[in-house]
Amino acid sequence: MVIFSNNRTAPTMVALNLYRSIRSRPSSPDARPKTQALARGGSEPSKLRFKHSNTTPSPSPSEPAAGSGESTYIAMVSSRLLDGVNKVFMSSSTSLSGPSDGVPYKNRRSPKKANVYALANQIVHELEVAKNDVYLLRAVARQVHRYLSVFSSQLDPLLAMVCADPSFISVYNPNHSPTQSQTANLNHSQSNSSSNRNTPSPPPPTPLPMPPPQQPINVAQHFAFELAHTAWIVKNTIIDAFEEDKIPLLAKDLIKDGLEKLDGHVVRVINPTVKSLRSYLGILASGLRESYPEASTITRKGGVIDFNPLPQHLKALSKGMDASKKILVKMVGPCQPEGEAWIARITVHLIWSAMLAFSVKKPMAVQLNGKQMRKAATTTPSSDSVNTIKSRNASPTPIHSALGRVAAVSKPRTPSPDAVSLAESGDQGNGIIVAEMEAFVKMIEKFTDGLVQVSEVEPEDELEPDSVALARSALKESIDSLKAMKSFTSSLNTLPEHLHLPIELPKVLALHLLIVRKAGVPNTPDKIWKWSWDAYADGIGGFGGAIRWQAAVFKVVEAAVKHEDEDEGNKRWNGLILDLIKRD
């Protein structure tokens, strides 16, 4: 007498040999032993929590008709898979879960990870057992596809509920976000300060509120990430089994639609989060071009300018990066190394936004008088900048209002008679920008620490467009470019005889640096193009966009330089600009 066993620890060949012995018997129902017992769910699917019809799949025309033994085995597979799906989503009911079973959100809980891993491993086990018989593999794969669909249908309403929550893509605590009246007052102050330069400056804006270090991310985000992890674990456990040749690729074709649905669940959570963080950090970084440090924060160590403590605009950016990292730690979770590609997309955009801001930041004409340092450059954001930010969203959000809060704006002051010479003060101002870049490099290293493995990829390696290796390589190149830009900026303290351009630095950024550091008040490339700065920055878009735009930018700048009135102070700078443009 043959006895069916549900013991998962038994060798897989036992089940396979059992199935073969059943197939070799007559297919008549009378040939089955009267004492044979079916596994739970095999004969009474109506008692299951999620009912299903047609437990026995219809035979394909290319397959032989299945006998009662095969039907019994497939019913057992179906029952085990259904039981696994039930366990995953039974834990999402608060009444059936303890406090440690998942993340609570609106009377629901995220599925227990132990049950999710158990279901994923069960699917792999069932397909692996059937891999030596093509007909059995097809039958089992159809059952897997069916219950992946059931799994997705249970995940859908939970995702729809949490993704509709406005706090899902919030970077900071929504309970401390600026009110509508505060946002209106901020925009009104910015508009007044840019339209009437002779009136006294408004009081410094309130810094963007950020969560304290001990505050976790909000519940909606945490719940959404747990659901994304649930789909990711099931999908990647199965994909890993295919890549390790545990399961034939035939089964992958049969369950492809189910895997794509799981991937869609992950994308539904990850893409809005990545987009929100990129926008948020990019706006904070772009604000660096309008902000200058307070005199009380500037210190010197061995002739090198440093900050102690960080000035307000860098401190606000640092807090924004810390808040974003908390979100990324929860978002990536078990999704390694694939999660590194998501983080790299955000970080590369952040680095590019900051480098673009640094490249058009005018060195302050400073005065050194004891501990005081005064500004002789206008630092008030232009009305074009404010209007562009508003136009991105008809009703400005707290994130879009962040630029005004981060920028430390003040009214220009007239240097006192004991001010140092223009050349010396320009050197000091350029040194402050270099110090800001050094502080930003340290922020990036802290931001990526523990999240991304920054590694060098050999040029001859062929990288897939969405591969983790490509993301790591892109991030390393952007960090190297940032460090090269800091070195190049430092070399512009005085007018160089020859242009020594680091190969890692995009030429468009080098062009910005040269134009801004000319004597007098130069036209930056955005003004030459007759665009607002934000529209120009969006047009370039990033490292790849800068390369595509490079030839067009050079052509317009070259024409502008050649038609510029001859000036002895600008002549040598223009020579360096034309030399850069003519380089291959």
Residue 572 lies in a domain: yes
What spatial distance separates the first Cα and last Cα of the chain, rounded to whole Å?
83
Last residue in a domain, options 163, 183, 217: 163
Same domain, 144 and 183: no
Q: Report the candidate in 338, 325, 326, 126 with the shortest Cα–Cα distance to residue 229.
A: 338
Question: Tell me, what DSSP letter sits at residue 372?
Answer: B
* Amino acid letter, residue 220: A
Strand ranges (DSSP E) for 414-493? none
Residue 61 burial (10 A CB sphere; 0-12, 13-18, 19+): exposed
Same domain, 469 and 555: no
pLDDT in tens, the chain (584 residues): 444 444 444 444 434 443 344 344 333 333 334 333 333 333 333 333 343 434 344 443 333 344 557 788 999 999 999 999 999 988 555 444 444 568 889 888 899 999 999 999 999 999 999 998 899 999 999 999 999 999 999 999 999 999 999 889 887 543 333 323 333 332 333 333 333 333 333 333 333 344 444 456 889 999 999 999 999 999 999 999 999 999 999 899 999 999 999 999 999 999 999 999 999 999 999 999 988 888 888 888 777 888 888 999 999 999 999 999 999 999 998 898 889 999 999 999 999 999 999 999 988 755 443 444 444 333 333 434 334 433 333 333 332 233 222 222 222 333 333 333 333 444 678 889 999 999 999 999 999 998 988 877 766 667 777 788 888 888 999 999 999 999 999 988 778 888 889 999 999 999 999 988 886 555 788 888 888 888 898 888 888 888 888 888 999 888 888 887 777 767 888 889 999 998 87
**Parent domain of 547:** 504-584
Same domain, 442 and 309: yes
On the question of a cis peptide bond just before residue 337, with omega within 30 degrees of 0, the verdict is yes
pLDDT confidence of residue 118: 95
Is 77:62 a contact under the CB 8 Å cutoff? Answer: no
Instruction: Report the domain count for the chain.
Output: 3
Give the DSSP letter string of 292-331: ---GGGEEEETTEEEESS--HHHHHHHHHHHHHHHHHHHH
Same domain, 486 and 562: no
Backbone φ, ψ for residue 372 (5° rounding): -95, 145
Q: How far apart are CA 492 and CA 96, in angstroms?
A: 67
Residue that is written with structure tokens 């859908």 in the block: 156
Same domain, 49 and 23: yes
pLDDT confidence of residue 480: 94
pLDDT confidence of residue 538: 87
Same domain, 103 and 134: yes
pTM for the model: 0.73
Last residue in a domain, options 494, 513, 545: 494
pLDDT confidence of residue 428: 75
Other beta carbons within 10 Å of 317: 25
Same domain, 311 and 440: yes
The b-or-e profile of 152-164 (16+ CB within 10 A means b, else e) is: bebbeebbebbee
pLDDT confidence of residue 189: 35
Residue 263 lies in a domain: no
What is the dihedral sign for C-alpha 50, 54, 59, 60? negative
Q: Report the candidate in 150, 101, 97 with the shortest Cα–Cα distance to residue 123.
A: 150
Which spans in 103-218 are helix H? 113-129, 134-163, 180-195
- For the chain, the residue count is 584
Is 500:491 a contact under the CB 8 Å cutoff? Answer: yes
Q: How far apart are CA 226 and CA 97, in angstroms?
A: 16
Q: How far apart are CA 147 and CA 84, in angstroms?
A: 9
Write the CB contacts of 154 (distance below 8 Å, at least 6 apart in sequence).
50, 85, 88, 89
Write the CB contacts of 129 (distance below 8 Å, at least 6 apart in sequence).
12, 15, 16, 140
Residue 249 lies in a domain: no
Same domain, 64 and 188: no
- CA atoms lying within 13 Å on the CB side of residue 551: 2
Residue 18 lies in a domain: yes
Other beta carbons within 10 Å of 54: 9
pLDDT confidence of residue 583: 83
Write the CB contacts of 65 (distance below 8 Å, at least 6 apart in sequence).
27, 59
* Amino acid letter, residue 488: F
Q: Which residues pair with 304 in a beta bridge?
A: 301
Residue 261 lies in a domain: no
pLDDT confidence of residue 522: 58
Same domain, 24 and 149: yes
Same domain, 528 and 412: no
pLDDT confidence of residue 563: 81
Q: Which residues pair with 109 in a beta bridge?
A: 104
Same domain, 511 and 584: yes
Write the CB contacts of 517 (distance below 8 Å, at least 6 apart in sequence).
363, 430, 492, 573
Q: How far apart are CA 273 and CA 269, in angstroms?
A: 7
Backbone φ, ψ for residue 241 (5° rounding): -65, -40
pLDDT confidence of residue 232: 96
Other beta carbons within 10 Å of 357: 23
Q: How far apart are CA 524 and CA 385, in angstroms?
A: 14
Residue 251 lies in a domain: no
Q: Report the candidate in 136, 150, 151, 152 with the shortest Cα–Cα distance to residue 57.
A: 136
Q: Which residues pair with 372 in a beta bridge?
A: 369
Same domain, 289 and 386: yes
On the question of a cis peptide bond just before residue 309, with omega within 30 degrees of 0, the verdict is yes
Q: Report the candidate in 45, 37, 30, 49 with the shortest Cα–Cα distance to residue 79.
A: 45
Residue 265 lies in a domain: no
Residue 6 lies in a domain: no
